[in-house]
Chain A
């Protein structure tokens, strides 16, 4: 019982203090390795690698993973619930006041500035993943051959999928399934 309470408390704290998402939880996870010894450093990096290549938010995947390895199925559930509890509380409070104050001039004018900036932020995230998916900088840095900079298969698939998205506008899941199949068939 103790271990579940502890897992909940540790992940509650991670959920409360990691701002910005993605790998913002990493320093806290390293603390779990060093302070509690529930998992080893190597196990942690293995878990992060898996969490990045399975569906779902990375932070949630790692919470489930660490919880499971520490205290089984229930441990995974408890750790995950601990991590999302602060979000739910904080966002419900904010959403409540947001609905109340969204007509205030100061709120309206801040979001007037924020919206194009957030579109830019998401653009930057898109740029980052596009760079990784279409270019092979590692190879290029070694060979310095311009041919090695481009991942031709990736560029072709990107162009195909982008065309299909713009033309048919289907649910993203259909493109993800299609790309997974293409990835397996053409050995991406």
Chain B
């Protein structure tokens, strides 16, 4: 019970301070689950993102459900999702009731201008950490660079990128026996 409440509160914090959804919450997830609690490894978080990206629904919610389920089963998955959406419900209901012209308020625009920059810095920093851990050989360097250019420049759908990289992984590893430390 105590841990379910903790899961709820962690995702409540993440939901309440994530600007921009999906990828923007990655730095906070990394901090809370990998660095502070050791509940998941950085690789596992990447796996959950890949699955969350390819399955229906909001990526942030999919990832939250995955982490919650892993820790505490079905109840954990549900509680994580409820924690993630609770701040949205509170904030949007308040705004919809009192300030329908919320985004025209000057102070909000200025705060958001600053937040946009910091979200960029947080994501870039997280990518550097993740890349330095998941890039171990030539194949992973090539996949990283190709995925980056495919999405950033060619605007390929992320789902296609994930499917192709999975097939590449299967082909490259077909004659390989995995050691404990490989994955």
Give A contacts to B, CB under 8 Å: 15-22, 25, 46, 49-61, 64-65, 68-69, 73, 76-77, 80, 83-84, 86-88, 90-92, 94-96, 98-99, 105-106, 108-130, 132-134, 154, 157-158, 161-162, 165-166, 169, 171-173, 175-176, 178-184, 186-188
Which residues of chain A come closer than 8 Å to B157, judged between CB atoms? 20
Which residues of chain A come closer than 8 Å to B147, judged between CB atoms? 116-121, 123-124
Specify the chain A residue showing the minimal Cβ separation from B147: A120
Interface range on chain B (Cβ under 8 Å from partner)? 35 or more
Contact A91 B55 (CB under 8 A): yes
Which residues of chain A come closer than 8 Å to B159, judged between CB atoms? 19-20
Contact A92 B65 (CB under 8 A): yes
Which residues of chain B come closer than 8 Å to A157, judged between CB atoms? 114, 117-118
Within 78-131 of B, Cβ neighbours of A (below 8 Å) are at: 78, 81, 84-85, 87-89, 91-93, 95-97, 100, 102-103, 107-108, 110-127, 130-131
Task: Give the one of A20, A165, A169 with max B CB within 10 A.
Answer: A20
Contact A22 B103 (CB under 8 A): no
Which residues of chain A come closer than 8 Å to B1, judged between CB atoms? none
Q: How far is the CA of A178 from the CA of B114 in the complex (A)?
A: 9
Main secondary structure of the interface of A (DSSP, over half): helix
Specify the chain A residue showing the minimal Cβ separation from B99: A50
Contact A127 B152 (CB under 8 A): yes
The answer to whether residues A65 and B96 also contact, given A56-B16, A133-B120 and a CB cut-off of 8 A, is yes
Main secondary structure of the interface of B (DSSP, over half): helix
Contact B56 A17 (CB under 8 A): yes
A70 CB, nearest partner CB in chain B, Å:
11
Contact A108 B183 (CB under 8 A): yes
Contact A119 B131 (CB under 8 A): yes
Contact A77 B117 (CB under 8 A): no
Which residues of chain B come closer than 8 Å to A119, judged between CB atoms? 46, 127, 130-131, 134-135, 144, 147
Pick the 3 closest A-B CB pairs, nearest first: A183-B114, A113-B169, A188-B113
Task: Give the one of B16, B24, B43 with max A CB within 10 A.
Answer: B24
Q: How far is the CA of A50 from the CA of B123 in the complex (A)?
A: 22
A16 CB, nearest partner CB in chain B, Å:
5
Q: Which of B60, B89, B120 lies in contact with A21, CB distance below 8 A? A: B60
Specify the chain B residue showing the minimal Cβ separation from A180: B111
Q: How far is the CA of A89 from the CA of B111 in the complex (A)?
A: 37
Which residues of chain A come closer than 8 Å to B125, judged between CB atoms? 162, 165-166
Q: Which of A58, A90, A96, A115 lies in contact with B57, CB distance below 8 A? A: A90
